[in-house]
Structure 1
């Protein structure tokens, strides 16, 4: 936050926005609350942990929205290197995408099969659309938004832009498993199955090696869903 402010950005603390609604951990909450403190007709979201950040990430995302009136949502695509400690595999990243998200989308929403990076954290959209879709907490936010945008405006209103190469830290297998669990719970909710926040479905047991034993760890991977911002009284009360 301090670095962003020093560079001239207007910085808001997530917990300070819409305080009456509480504060849910995770990226989805930050995205949802950003609608309440921004005023532009077009919004772009870019992950803050990227390495070798290029301003073209933002410019590329905004291009279709500024030049094609029919486009309402833009998703990024890119090569995603995987650093395994010894070598760099140019396209080895995105393991949750390939093993979980892509098979689920191809099976249940084949219209979205053409998206190269469905879980990409860089995307942009028109406020008039983003304020009408819900925001899921945690790692479910990207796949939920794709599905909800598809249902709201259709595939012809969606675009993707090649941003070249996206490098950031690579997660451990255990962290990827928790990510995968949240994505599956989110998809389950979109398929109108059992609630994704049910007590039992929101827990993931993992095992870590500790000497000669395996140590069990239980993680809460439940997801919560924020309503479309247009349903929030404080947001509706703001001047147009």
Structure 2
């Protein structure tokens, strides 16, 4: 328990209070993939949202055509004003291509497609569906700052589960990389802001709709970092807050393999380094991996002591191996493939919704072959 304020306003969960928040004016975006179908975590999320009664729930769905019908039927079983946006159908692909927006698929692209519909409400909340400990209070906590002088809020929580520390990509990659950049650019307000978030890679945030409409969106796993950078441009340091969401239990990813932490680190690093460059930071890319590694290894030593202090198991050598893996992912960010802010997109949310609805209908009727 602590009450420390960071560079951004920090709202702590000192008890079990339920803050008053404008849930009836909010759209909640909950991205899902086929692995969430009828899962216990997703069931809990949707059941809690039923009790919350938000104005709208939008589920961007990434799934093969032959799973869409059953998935929509399952979602329709919840008493919610819920709209499913199937992100992988041919009409949606054609719309994006016609607008010059075709490209890599990923979580960020899915969320962007759903945001167009969510922007019809006054506030937007985005969070994941794989949270075993999910509570309706998370939405209230995220929305509370927006009704009290802030325009953007970010959730944070400790990843301590099964007797060990998780949150590895944040602890071992993001945080030490930001620290390495700050050591070379101590005057950067942007880096100070990016370092202030206690769990920058959390998927939970809320903002006023006009603010969200101004966000360019990363297509893949850089979504969370890109969102923080976009919020800095939209509302500044003083317009942002972070909110303690308390206990949080997530699924865990392997380091290697498709969608593993190694792949994610490349997207996260690219998003961070691109944003840093756009805000006046010119990293020394030749030395940055070694600088990062030195900082990260010092963090490993600190986490080892912290784990022992709390009676947690800790694999120091395994964490050092992860640091080496992540160091190899640090490179100039390459081409900018972000999706445009909805306020500037040459595409209407209604057109996306109509296309996704027609695609899903055809998929349910067996008229879409394979994974389009």
Q: Using structure 2 for the length normalisation, give the TM-score.
A: 0.50
SS at match of 1:178: helix
Q: Which aligned pairs between 1:27-42 and structure 2 lie closer than 5 A? A: 27-38=107-118, 39-42=120-123
**CA shift for structure 1 position 110:** 1.5
- 1:225 partnered with 2:338: yes
Match of residue 21, structure 1, among 75, 83, 96: 96
Task: Answer yes or no: is 1:103 the counterpart of 2:185.
Answer: no
CA drift at 1:237: 8.9
* SS class of match (1:161): strand
The one of 268, 272, 276 aligned to 1:191: 276
Instruction: State the match for 1:182 in structure 2.
Output: 267
| 2:153 and 2:206 in contact (8 A); partners too | yes
CA RMSD of aligned residues (A): 2.5
Q: How many residues align?
A: 203
Scaled by the length of structure 1, what TM-score is found? Answer: 0.76
Inter-partner Cα distance in structure 2 for 1:104 and 1:144: 15
Q: CA deviation at 1:27?
A: 1.2
Runs of 5+ in structure 2 lacking a partner?
1-70, 183-190, 279-332, 352-372
Measured after TM superposition, the shift of residue 6 of structure 1 is 1.3
- Where do residues 140-151 of structure 1 align in structure 2 (5 Å cutoff)? 140-151=222-233
Distance 2:210 2:177 in 1: 28
Cα distance change on mapping 1:133 and 1:99 into 2, 3 Å = same
Q: Structure 2 CA distance, aligned partners of 1:10 and 1:160?
A: 28
- Partner-residue secondary structure (3-state), 2:207: strand
Which of 1 and 2 has greater Rg? 2
1:176 Cα offset (Å)? 0.9
Match of 1:61 in 2: 142
Judging changes above 3 Å, is the alpha-carbon distance between structure 1 residues 186 and 112 closer, same or farther for their aligned structure 2 residues? closer
Aligned to 1:5: 76
Higher helix share: 2
Q: Secondary structure at the match of 1:133?
A: coil
2:195 corresponding residue in structure 1: 113
- Counterpart CA distance in 1 for 2:93 and 2:207 is 22
- Specify which of 66, 69, 81 is matched with residue 160 of structure 2: 81
Large movers: runs of 4+ above 4 Å? 16-19
1:50-102 CA distance string (max 9 Å, x none): 11321111111111112x13x1111001121244xxxx22xx11111012211
1:214 aligned partner: none
SS class of match (1:164) = coil
Conserved? CA contact 1:44–1:62, under 8 Å? yes
Q: Evaluate the alpha carbon distance shift between residue 233 and residue 173 of structure 1 in structure 2; reply closer, same or farther with a 3 A threshold.
A: closer
Shift of 1:143: 0.7
The answer to whether the Cα contact below 8 Å between 2:220 and 2:267 also exists between their aligned partners in 1 is yes
Q: How much does 1:236 deviate?
A: 8.6
- How many angstroms apart in 2 are the aligned matches of 1:173 and 1:234? 37
Q: 1:18 to 1:229 in 2, by over 3 A?
A: farther
Cα deviation 1:165-219 (Å, max 9, x = unaligned): 11111111211111111111122322348xxxxxxxxxxxxxxxxxxxxxxxxxx
